[in-house]
Chain A
Amino acid sequence: MLNSKPETRNSSQREPNGKQIQNSKFKYFKPVVSSFKYLGLNIVSDFGFRISDFCRRLLFCLFLVAITTVPAFAQQVCDLGPSVQPRKLRSLEHFGALAVLNDGRVKPVDTYARTLLLQFSGKTSFDRKPAVEWLGRLLFAPQTTRDDKVFLINNPEIATGMGIEAEPHRRYSFSRLQPGLAKLDELAEMADKINEKERSVVEQEVLRVYRNLVVYDKHSRVFSFAFPSPEFDIASPEVVKALELPEGQKAFSFYDIASRADRLRELTGRLEKKKSADWPARDKELFQLANTLFHWSLDYSDLPFTVVPAGDSSEDWSSPMDAVNRGFSDPKIREEIARLRDMMVYYWNGEQLQFDLAVRSFGHSVLNRVDPARKKAVGKIPLELFYNKANLFLWAKLFYAMAFFIFLWSFFPGGARPVWRRAAFFSVVAGLVPHALALALRIIIMARPPVSNLYETFIFVSMITVIAGIIIELVNKRWVGNLVASVCGFVFLMIASKFAAEGDTLQMLVAVLNSNFWLGTHVLSITTGYSGVCVAGLIGHLYILQRIKYPGDKAALESTYHQLIGALGFGLMMTFLGTTLGGIWADQSWGRFWGWDPKENGALLIVLWCAIIFHAKVGRFVGPLGLAAGSVVGIIVVMWAWFGVNLLSVGLHSYGFTSGVATGLLVYVLAELAFLAICVPLALKIPLPRREG
């Protein structure tokens, strides 16, 4: 059973007249006045604007308490002590299937939990348990997460700056970071003053860590409305009786008092006619309760975990606490909040069945209330849960890796037999199935083409290269297709997983990209073009290595050369199509076909590079080896166009998350140049076969 200790009031400062003192941005817990329609405004009109002497004194005391309270993260949330632990629930599976509105879309709590944990720790699970279990603890029993090492701090300088010892595994618990939070406030404030583009890696990391801690703290307060708090303790049994609360109980929660708000208003409404000095003790306590209720509604507003459809517009959803403020007069919302409170109680009591029933009851109520667009999104939650659970890209990577290892096996005696080639081929096809399924699921869930951010373009390009590899293998039957498919499929999915670490990859589209037609034509064709040039580049590597290792195998060299030309031609054709379609989209959106924007220029560079190679071939300035080397450089050009230009952070297309990518790109370019510098001269030294190409 719940046995809460006092919650320290947060650090929000008030002037004696009750107005908010704007805390500095980085003196965390800056309360935001919400549209407190049901309780707040009425109470303000009853008390706030006709404030009595007592009221002034009371608020002054509150002000003193507030300013003497240690600011920022020193606030304790439901610190029940180490001896009080919730009884364990078997599973939070049903809870994970609830709908939450986050980042503009309705998603399952399971995705929300994964994204949150990923944002904090870079992982989607904690202690080998699903993220939703950790989120459950953070929401329902936040004090049990204080020692969880979930805060990833990549740079040890930050720990030093906070005055704490750096952890070897770079992950810290909240309790470990707590002594340095005041210092972190200062560091974050300094970093925030610096122009975003001029911030160092450490400054960026300071802000990331700071924001994560704020988000963590806000989540830990989401269910505060249901916890008994000493601020709502009622000493007088007379008041308990007057409010029709359970007799014999002294400790109450915000929810308990808010649910008696009508009665409270009725009882306190009479007070304005009397002088405060004449108020009896009962009325003073009632007034204090009303006052605390009002302050709570301000201090605990704008919290995350928006699961209750309630707000200013039909599309808005609120956190449970905000829902109390905004829509408690609606019986359905009141009922939903009661179910949320039940969830917390059952969670603590370890009552699995009752917990699941409360979850289902809440879920059904929400589904019956939401607008049609959101209802459709809620209907897709099972698909997204399957997508999360199945981990389809992991399976795809495993099969592609297996195909590559079979290819390596082919170098051993007996490994080159057709049976192994077929095995590699089937492994690639087996990888393509979950890969394509995952993409299809993403299309269905988001109802748009799967190419709106860098992560999605990588998984799409990966799939196109795999399909290209399969076609090459079906036509050619010489391992080349298997190699292309397995290497490109695996490598691009690995790069994509790097981008996935930034958060939820199923993102809503910004206004200018919000066009399925143009996403489906321009972006798909240009990324298909990237795929073609990358496949050509990989075959180019292979051709150069073949020239060194098997210079006499004319048939194999010719075959590889033809595939190289085909892939490069395909890449040129699709990149050209994508570029010009992008021009037409730009003309439709911005009024000009071409504006020399970095992203447009990047695409043009690919077209120009392919055109240079082909014209050099036609003019006989380069032979097959030169063409192969040129196609290797083509990959560098593609990488530049694909995400290199995003590093410049200029232009209309500077979307995508590219932090930390620059080093990887530089290393890749150097490696490719080293490959060409070593292998091309080596291949040139070896006598050419008489006829090729």
Chain B
Amino acid sequence: MNPFRKNLQRNPVIKFCASIRIAIACLALLFILTLWGTIDQVTNGLYLAQERFFYSFFFTFAGVIPFPGAQLVLWVFFINLVCVALTRLVYKWDQAGIIVIHFGLLLFFVAAFVTYHGTEESHITLREGEGTNVSQGYHDWELAVWTEADNAQNVVAWDTKGLRPNDRLAFPEYGLTATVGHYYPNAEAYGTGQPSPDVVSASGIQTVKETPLDKEPEKNLPGALLTVRTSGPQGKEREVSVLLYGGEEQPAKITSGEQTYFMQLRHKRSPLPFILRLKEFTAEWYPNTQVARSYKSLVGITPAGGSGSREVLISMNKPLRYKDFTVYQSSYAVDEFGRESSTLAVVRNAGRLLPYCASFITFGGLALHFLMMAFKTKLR
């Protein structure tokens, strides 16, 4: 046996980490978390269940009792699997199936890590004839600031995820700093609709109150109270309280000297390396029914800075792929004037093919092992 491997096998830490008891415990915990997280979706919805059970290291239930989240369990399981690969797996031909299964699973863990950290999801909603090179997040928000001269084309934005009171947000391009008074991921706004002398807001709101997160995260509307420090006339600094609410369509307007700034809480926007223009949208129904047969968006795609445009038909199960971006047909809507708009999901996923590879390798291992076992049993 390889002396390095022998040494590893003697190492008590690695020996402990490679224990099959840990593997079984991890499998059992994953089983419990998956079941629990599924049932929890009935009351709290998919998004909150994901955050609580599957994307956390720990969570508490019944108020105080801690329980490991899937992220922690998967890390432990990954370490266990690496140690097993180093010390316990028997690298012989008759164990080929088992070896391939475990290496396939290791690749699954890598794929999960890459996709979890490397995936960005957003969407584009277009009417026929419209085009864009910016996509909008589903439930991530940003604090965007721009000046009158920028006309909302040049924007400086801060991601609002995890904002806490007293956080300082600097906008050096504009000489602004904002200090967070409070930030609520979901809030209700109250006010008279009239401008207040104490606080600047877009729509005359005077206060925002925190409300519990909605089970459908798209319905959450954040609210924030910021203290914005601007350079006033004669270079004097002044502080302005700004109240922002996700439900406002217009930005709050802050005037400092001759300069006017706009500030808004809005869905996070991401630039795309292409311009997408919707040429035609078609919804097909089975005759005499309300059952959809297909949705199709004929789009023109023009690479950023490029002149050539090509047409692509996006439909259910047939997305558009452009570098590491994939554009899917997500939904459609008809407004009160009967105009149709198509919503396309935009996903950027650098490790998209990793789960595919991991799947086939692991299945290959399972099939190999199953056939070898069946053959052995038959021989017996």
Contacts and interface: CB of A to CB of B under 8 A. Distances in A.
Contact of B34 (A565, A590, A604): A604
A162 B41 CA distance: 38
Most buried by A among B34, B349, B378: B34
Contact of B367 (A313, A573, A590): A573
Contacts of A576: 362-363, 366
Most buried by B among A103, A589, A593, A612: A593
B24 A621 contact: yes
A596 B287 contact: no
B347 interface: yes
A562 interface: yes
Most buried by A among B121, B360, B363: B363
Nearest to B23: A615
A472 B45 CA distance: 44
A369 to B, nearest CB: 14
A674 interface: no
Given A514-B294, A569-B370, A590-B345, A645 B38 contact: yes
Interface in A499-550: 508, 510-512, 514-515, 518
B13 interface: no
A584 B34 contact: no
A584 B356 contact: yes
Contact of A591 (B21, B37, B45, B347): B347
B319 A591 contact: yes
Contact of B24 (A105, A605, A615, A648): A615
Contacts of A555: none
A602 B35 CA distance: 8
A475 B375 CA distance: 12
Given A601-B37, A601-B38, A604-B34, A508 B293 contact: yes
Nearest to A304: B288
A104 B286 CA distance: 5
A363 interface: no
B28 A612 contact: yes
A508 B289 contact: yes
Nearest to B354: A593
A566 B374 contact: yes
A566 B289 contact: no
B50 interface: yes
B176 interface: no
A316 interface: yes
Nearest to B31: A608
Given A317-B288, A518-B317, A580 B363 contact: yes
A657 interface: no
Interface string B1-39: 000000000000000000011011001101100110111
Interface in B241-294: 285-289, 291-294
B288 A104 contact: yes
A98 to B, nearest CB: 16
B355 A583 contact: yes
A612 B292 contact: no
B31 A588 contact: no
Contacts of B347: 591-592
A102 interface: yes
B100 to A, nearest CB: 13
Nearest to B377: A562
A686 interface: no
A612 B369 CA distance: 17
B352 interface: yes
B293 A514 contact: yes
Given A597-B46, A616-B24, A592 B370 contact: no
Contacts of B374: 566
A59 to B, nearest CB: 30
B326 interface: yes
Nearest to B111: A593
Contacts of A612: 24, 27-28, 31
A508 B21 contact: no
Given A313-B287, A514-B294, A608-B31, A592 B119 contact: yes
A315 to B, nearest CB: 4
A687 interface: no
A618 B287 CA distance: 56
B363 A577 contact: yes
B349 to A, nearest CB: 8
A604 B30 CA distance: 9
A572 B294 contact: no
Contacts of B20: 615, 618-619
B133 interface: no
Contact of A584 (B50, B54, B359): B359
A562 B378 CA distance: 10
Interface residues of A, number: 63
B373 interface: yes
Interface in A604-652: 604-605, 608-609, 611-612, 615-616, 618-619, 621, 645, 648-651
B333 interface: no
B31 A569 contact: no
A566 B46 CA distance: 36
Contacts of B74: none
A580 B359 contact: yes
A252 interface: no
Given A584-B356, A589-B317, A570 B286 contact: no
B328 interface: yes
B231 interface: no
A608 B46 contact: no
A565 B317 CA distance: 37
B103 interface: no
A101 interface: yes
Interface in A31-50: none
Contact of A583 (B292, B359, B378): B359
A595 interface: yes
A608 B347 CA distance: 29
B291 A104 contact: yes
A306 interface: yes
Contacts of B42: 648-650
Interface string A552-586: 00000000001001100110110011001101110
A651 B27 CA distance: 24
Contacts of A570: 370
Nearest to B345: A591
A7 B289 CA distance: 30
B295 interface: yes
Contacts of A580: 355, 359-360, 362-363
A359 to B, nearest CB: 22
Given A510-B291, A514-B293, A615-B27, A594 B46 contact: no
A611 B35 CA distance: 16
A79 B299 CA distance: 58
Given A103-B289, A104-B291, A648-B41, A601 B34 contact: yes
A315 B286 CA distance: 9
A101 B27 CA distance: 50
Contact of A511 (B39, B293, B349, B367): B293
Given A315-B287, A601-B37, A588 B317 contact: yes
Interface string A79-106: 0000000000000000000000111110
A598 interface: yes
A612 B34 CA distance: 14
A577 B367 CA distance: 10
A308 B45 CA distance: 46
28 contacts: A101-B287, A102-B288, A311-B287, A510-B291, A511-B316, A562-B377, A569-B373, A570-B370, A573-B367, A576-B366, A584-B355, A584-B359, A587-B355, A591-B319, A592-B121, A592-B347, A594-B115, A596-B38, A596-B49, A602-B38, A609-B31, A612-B27, A621-B24, A648-B38, A649-B42, A650-B41, A650-B45, A651-B46
Top 8 A-B pairs, shortest CB-CB distance: A104-B286, A580-B359, A591-B347, A315-B287, A619-B20, A573-B366, A104-B289, A593-B355
Given A591-B121, A601-B34, A648-B42, 6 more contacts: A316-B288, A573-B366, A580-B359, A594-B355, A608-B31, A651-B46
